[in-house]
Amino acid sequence: MKMSKIELLEQDSQTVLAIRTRTRVETLPNLIGESYMKILSYLNELGELPAGSPYTAYYNLAMQDLDVEMGFPVTKPLPDNDEMKAGEIPPGRVVSYLYTGPYSGMEGPYNQMFQWIQEKGYEPTGVCYEYYLNNPDEVPERDLQTRIVMPLK
């Protein structure tokens, strides 16, 4: 029997620097890349480094009107600029799944996670986070690693 990759974890709060916007699913890959470059450039100006992997938070799953936040964990609250805001990923209980493979294949893990949450009697907050542990410019699609995290109420 294959072991489930789904884990129930307690997560600490994490200070972030992020850009939140609305977009359509078709424009998302470019938007994510541009947002990360803007944030990294701003961090560089401030003389700061990311404190972890970049993430995208999905506040809804409406593919034609996605409410998304792209950001990086940082070690302390940093000053906002026009687009970028300091923020926090809240602490609490989460369901986590480490997915390996192309981004286009993440529907399966999402569905497994939603099913697991329902079967265990938990209630998701409705926000989903994807942490990108490696870079599509550096590894083949099949080796991409994404940690999918769903906070619970």
What CATH code is carried by the domain that includes residue 65? Answer: 3.20.80.10
Q: Report the Cα 73 to chain-centroid distance in Å.
A: 11
Residue 1 pLDDT: 39
d(CA 144, CA 37): 19
Domain total in the chain: 1
The contacts of residue 9 (CB under 8 Å, 6+ apart) are: 93, 94, 95, 96
Q: Look over the chain and give the mean of its residue pLDDT values, rounded to a whole number.
A: 94
**Is residue 45 in a domain?**
yes
Q: Domain containing 38: what range?
A: 6-151
Query: Model confidence at 61, in pLDDT bands (50, 70, 90)?
Result: confident
Q: To the nearest whole percent, how much of the chain has pLDDT over 90? A: 93
**Is residue 1 in a domain?**
no
d(CA 102, CA 71): 21
Whole-prediction pTM value?
0.94
**Is residue 59 in a domain?**
yes
**Is residue 27 in a domain?**
yes
